């Protein structure tokens, strides 16, 4: 079964309609400005489990939505 994301505006829609937007999340233990910039630009938490994500519903309402998803399902 294809993954469906629940759009607050359009209801559950197949992932093919969406574009994923990575949200930078530098950890608190990085304190130097340069380190934080590198982290924001390139590094990713690559979370295994539930997390909040940003998705652009390109094939629907064409709005950015915040969606909670479990990356193991």
Partner 1 sequence: MAGVRLPIRTHPLQAFVTNHYTRSFRPIVASADMGFYVSQTPRGEMLLGSGIDSQPSYSYRSSYEFLSHCSLPAVTLLPFLRNLTILRQWAGVCDMSVDMSPIMGYTGVDGFLVTTGWGTWGFKGIPAGGEQMAELIAGDRTPELIAPFSLNRFQEDRLMFDPGSTATTH
Given partner 1, Zn ion, none, residue 28, with its beta carbon under 5 to 8 Å by kind, binds none
Nearest partner of 57 among 28, 32, 34, 4, judged by Cα: 4
Give 50's strand partners: 70
Please list, in sequence order, all residues whose beta carbon lies within 8 angstroms of the beta carbon of residue 14, skipping any fewer than 6 positions away.
2, 3, 4
| Binding to partner 1, residues 14-73 (CB under 8 A) | 14-16, 18-20, 22, 27, 29-30, 38-39, 41-44, 46, 48, 69, 71-73
Residues found near partner 1 in the complex (CB under 8 A): 1-3, 14-16, 18-20, 22, 27, 29-30, 38-39, 41-44, 46, 48, 69, 71-73
């Amino acid at each position: 079964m294809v993954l469906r994301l629940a759009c607050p505006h359009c209801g559950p829609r197949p992932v093919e309609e969406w574009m994923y937007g990575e949200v930078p999340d530098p950890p608190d233990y990085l304190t130097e400005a340069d380190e934080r910039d590198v982290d924001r630009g390139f590094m990713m938490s690559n979370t295994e489990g539930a997390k909040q994500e940003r998705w652009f519903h390109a094939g629907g309402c064409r709005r950015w939505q915040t969606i909670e998803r479990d990356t193991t399902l």
